[in-house]
Amino acid sequence: MSLIGTLGEIPLADVLRMLAGGGKTGRLTVTDESEQVVVRFQKGALVQANTGRRLQGEDALLDLFGWKAGQMTFVPEERTVTPNVHGELEALILEGLRMGESFHRMQEVIPSDRVVFQLGPGPRESGETVSAEGWRVLRLVDGVRDLRELGEALHLPRAELAWLVFGLLEAGLLERVDPWKSLRALSAGISALFNKDGVEVDERMEGEWRKLLRFGGGVQRVEVRTTAGKSLRAAVSFRGGIQASVVLSRAMFSELAVKEGEDVQVRPVA
């Protein structure tokens, strides 16, 4: 293993050009405190890039250009890999220098399809303009729909929608919110005989959900979702002492196929 240096000392573009120009075969690993990207070369050709997150191929490389810090090491390694990077090196570098910082910032604020947005405080600059597609997004964000649901409603590819949302976030027209709460499923016990269709949640959760613009007037219904993807919607009531739990009826345990004490995700719905 050879230590090349840090991103603060040596530009990533220079390292990639050096490895390519030297006809190197092996893996370049870039590591910071929480992430790692592995870039593989074969006889000087950049053929593969992967991160510990969902980014692969040219997206992983583009994201790496947005890193501010990271330690770089190179290990010569004769290994056959399946290429997932196919662009010409100089074109990839130019794209990284042009878009890498914005792309990396977008991955930080939109790390998954489950993030949720609501209208923001307003444009950060006077004269801010919004595209027709941007207005379609603004009309649908409500503090409930996540990115996946927005994409389905707008019939937009994920990548295109993410850039639209990111632009609106940067402009101050949207803000990210977190309606989902991870709660422990508890049985309602004998009280389930009298409340088969509703769930109970701690009153503190209602206070947090009321901060969402959509639910300033209160929350009447919630969605309960399991890690396996099963979900149900039900009326909700609030009381103290439940803490980080959601009280479900016996029928709901059966419908969701969960056991008492398992964690489920809960969010308010209209």
Of 168, 160, 166, nearest to 105 (Cα)? Answer: 166
SS3 166: helix
* Model confidence pLDDT, tens digit, residues 141-186: 988 899 999 999 999 999 999 999 999 999 999 999 999 999 999 9
pLDDT band at 126 (very low <50, low <70, confident <90, very high): confident
SS3 269: strand
| Partners of 164 in beta bridges | none
Task: Please say whether the dihedral angle defined by the alpha carbons of residues 187, 190, 192 and 195, taken in this order, is positive or negative.
Answer: negative
Tell me which H or E stretch contains 100: helix 89-109
The residues of the chain that CATH labels 1.10.10 are 116-177
SS3 37: strand
* Model confidence pLDDT, tens digit, residues 232-256: 999 999 999 999 999 999 889 999 9
116-177 belongs to CATH 1.10.10: yes
Residue 3 has pLDDT above 50, yes or no: yes
Q: What is the pTM of this model?
A: 0.78
| Partners of 200 in beta bridges | 237, 247
At residue 94, what are phi and psi to the nearest 5 degrees? -60, -40
Q: Are 117 and 165 in contact (CB under 8 A)?
A: yes
| Partners of 227 in beta bridges | none
Q: Are 106 and 137 in contact (CB under 8 A)?
A: no
At residue 7, what are phi and psi to the nearest 5 degrees? -65, -25
Checking DSSP bridges between strand 198-202 and strand 181-187, what pairing results, if any?
A: unpaired
Share of the chain above pLDDT 90, in %: 76
Residue 264 corresponds to which tokens in the numbers above?
A: 């489920």
CATH architecture of the domain 181-269 equals: Beta Barrel (2.40)
The residues of the chain that CATH labels 2.40.40.20 are 181-269
Q: Are 194 and 134 in contact (CB under 8 A)?
A: no
